[in-house]
Chains A and B, each alone.
Chain A
């Protein structure tokens, strides 16, 4: 086998591997971001040293080390991973869940209510709040799935509508709580908070909290449902080929609804983790937190698998928590959003990679035919 045909096979293998595509897409996004920083006359080194500081806590400009940055990075990744799981779970059933933002908001709101009015018993209190958030998010997602399955209402339009409903309803309900002003409720009792003294000490006072374990367990649950249960098998079959699944006797209506319920529950948990982990009071939302929207990018880069979503969530969490550090190094922090946007656009081109693959396969078939004709 000569060198040229070896290269060919390598390219084919790269193009047909989802993992390789994800990695190259991310690298391409970073490359464009770097060029952009250069184009506006700033030093891209500032961007990378900010990212390094986020990942390791090492500040090269001052030669200091603070583990708190690592804690903040992980904390910023938690809701992104959970919203990514939400998007990914729906995607495995062939649905596009732009509604994670709304499901996140109802989860956050439910968790805030339980935190303020639930029984103040340690552990049980936040467990109940997490449960309430998962149920609320699951309900919000389930409605969309049910509408889609029963009335074939497009889940894209329905989820966008419900995002706004969730946002305004959350403001309305939260402001009904006694002692609430235009932006915050009274403080949560300590039993509702996810913060943990040990984690806090280990990460030098970062906001990282027990939500870390919520995320790890969620990833395991995601993997288990999708790979190891009958429901997961049916959902994957529905996502791969709806008609084939129906003829195989799979109940599509039930499948779509349960898929959206589970997807919504993940996003709802993200809301609870942010509400009880990063804040000590309930918020009257003034704008979107955007974890739900960024979760779309996370799931796309993670190829809608549990492990991939976790890694992608850590990547986007790094981009988010590097923002203030970039700003202090004169790098416009918006470059991280541009990188995310570009990554999503590149990912959408996956079909284009298939076109290239097809062309190459056809060409090779033609070559083989030629050779056998000779």
Chain B
């Protein structure tokens, strides 16, 4: 039990980026656009944040925060590609997302080659510092984002309109909502949040960006969205579960009674749990009804 309490800061460290990214993915799907580019957008955010931080860390104490902002903006900018392709040009959303994932791997290492003359960013001296009780501020950022998303999606007219675009875009349009504009906002928000998530990840968990920095966190976030049934509290719970499982896989060596199991066992757990729950709760489809479908204005 003591072990588990001691693990809380590291669990939160791992959960936070997944949760932030998953919130973005949820908002995006709520508006009717599937964003499987979360993984790539997180990579772009992480690369940008690591680069900015290493370049200015000696000149300003606010470097970490500037880096996170830069990462968020980079995620937002790249997500414009996905938004333009899938909303304005009716592109296949899964294919466009896959393209961005491929592009992110190549693009970030390419830029690293150009800027640092190697396949990774130069390591920074000091990442983000943990706060009270060894908990990183990223946990509070994540909490704030969950509460804010919930408030906007479920307590503001704007949120109602956004959700309508994902459930029944034609009905939303006939009620006077600009469906395309709403979807743009949602995709850009998810790009921004994925950028924040990637920045948080790189600044708390490692000292530089490499191709393996994100290592599936974006895909886990994507799964957390469907496992959490597209609800803020569900997605938060799912992210917490996945993050704990990932942390367990890292820390299991410290737990005497579980040592007979290989670490791969714990690495597999979150994915198996997701699959099983997806099957168990398959009776009703919880996904926004129009998620993944391009919206075409009827008539002309």
Instruction: Tell me the A residues contacting B by CB distance below 8 Å.
Output: 36, 40, 96, 98, 147, 151-154, 156-158, 160-162, 164-165, 168-169, 171-172, 175, 287, 293-294, 296-297, 300, 332, 334-352, 354-355
Contact A300 B275 (CB under 8 A): no
What B residues does A349 contact at CB under 8 A?
85, 89, 91, 96
The one of A165, A169, A344, A355 in contact with B98, judged by C-beta atoms closer than 8 angstroms, is A344
25 A–B contact pairs at CB < 8 A?
Answer: A152-B282, A153-B279, A162-B271, A162-B275, A164-B268, A165-B268, A175-B262, A297-B102, A332-B113, A332-B114, A334-B107, A335-B106, A335-B110, A337-B109, A338-B110, A341-B104, A342-B103, A343-B99, A344-B98, A345-B96, A348-B85, A348-B91, A348-B93, A349-B91, A352-B85
Chain B's closest residue to A339 (CB) is B106
Inter-chain CA distance A243–B90, complex, in Å, is 22
- Neighbouring A residues of B219 by C-beta, 8 Å: 160, 164
One of B98, B106, B282 near A151 (C-beta < 8 A)? B282
Chain B nearest CB from A262 CB (Å) reads 21
Q: Is the CB of B107 within 8 A of A341?
A: yes
Q: By the criterion CB–CB under 8 Å, are B92 and A351 in contact?
A: yes
B73 interface residue, CB < 8 Å from A? no
Residue numbers of B with Cβ under 8 A of A are 34, 36, 81, 85-86, 89-96, 98-107, 109-110, 113-114, 212, 216, 219, 222-223, 226, 262, 264-265, 267-268, 271-272, 274-275, 278-279, 282, 285, 287, 294
Which residues on the B side are within 8 Å of A172 (C-beta)?
A: 262, 264-265, 268
- Residues A351 and B268 in contact in the complex (CB < 8 Å), given A293-B102, A342-B99: no
What are the residues of chain A within 8 A of B103 when measuring CB–CB? 337-338, 341-342, 345
What DSSP secondary structure best describes chain B's contact surface?
A: helix
Cβ–Cβ contact B110 & A36, under 8 A? yes
Within 8 Å by CB of A341, from B85, B100, B222, lies B100
Could you tell me if A352 and B278 are in contact, using CB atoms closer than 8 angstroms?
A: no
- Other than the given A341-B104, A348-B95, 17 more pairs (CB < 8 A) read A147-B278, A157-B274, A161-B272, A164-B271, A171-B264, A172-B265, A175-B262, A293-B98, A332-B109, A334-B105, A341-B101, A342-B99, A343-B99, A345-B81, A348-B85, A348-B92, A352-B85
Bound complex: CA of A342 vs CA of B103, how far in Å? 7
Q: Which residues of A contact B282 (CB under 8 A)?
A: 151-153
Instruction: Report chain A residues within 8 Å CB of B294.
Output: 351
Which chain A residue shows the least CB distance to B274?
Answer: A161
Does the CB pair A169–B264 fall under 8 Å? Answer: yes
